[in-house]
Amino acid sequence: MKFTATPLAGAFIVDIDPSSDERGFFARTFCAEEFAEYGLSAAALQCSVSYNIRKGTLRGMHYQAPPRDEDKLIRCTAGAIYDVIVDIRSGSASYGRWFGAELTAANRRALLAPKGFAHGFLTLADDSEVLYMISARYTPGFARGFPWNDPQVAIAWPMKPVVVSARDAAYQPLDHGAA
């Protein structure tokens, strides 16, 4: 695997390093020892999948509050998404800053969102599927979020969302106590 640091400390793009032959290729998508070398959590206590019917579906911006905060390794297994993380670590030099990357089934790229980051994505194709490896069990009472279009964060989404859930639309801006 190839780890590339993002501009937000502790967050990485993770690319596969395939071994190819006449059959195709084989590559690791997760290795606890390699993740630990970068100071990243080696625990994956839960795996989840998000299937999205329509291009333009937006999910986010979501996170879990401490002590149920979580590391997430996000990979698009079908279709394409624009994946975004936002640093919500109080006291962080990059608090409120965001980073986005296109994750597709074809590029097989993943984004590592460590604890203290909110996460969301916008589908760029119909029938997009997202696989999450998560370090903590989802606990509804600790689920938090802020709007995908929060003016203080000012994420530059590649297109306007077509589908946004009522829950995601109702979140309060980050500066109003979401963190």
Q: For the chain, give the DSSP string.
A: -EEEE-SSTT-EEEE---EEETTEEE--S--HHHHHHTT------EEEEEEE-STTEEEEEEEE-TTS---EEEEEEESEEEEEEEE--TT-TTTT-EEEEEEETTT--EEEE-TTEEEEEEESSSSEEEEEEESS---GGGEEE--TT-TTT----SS--SEE-HHHHHPPPGGGTT-
**Active-site residue, from 51, 132, 138, 176:** 132
Q: What is the pTM of this model?
A: 0.93
Catalytic (active site) residue 119? no
Catalytic (active site) residue 176? no
Structural domain spans, the chain:
2-176
What pLDDT is stored for residue 42 in this prediction? 64
**Active-site residue, from 51, 62, 119, 171:** 62
Under CATH, which number does the domain 2-176 receive? 2.60.120.10
Q: What are phi and psi of 88, to 5 degrees?
A: -120, 25
Distance CA 7, CA 5 (A): 7
What pLDDT is stored for residue 179 in this prediction? 44
Mean pLDDT, 10 residues at a time, the chain of 179 residues:
95 95 94 85 85 98 95 96 97 96 98 96 98 92 96 97 97 69
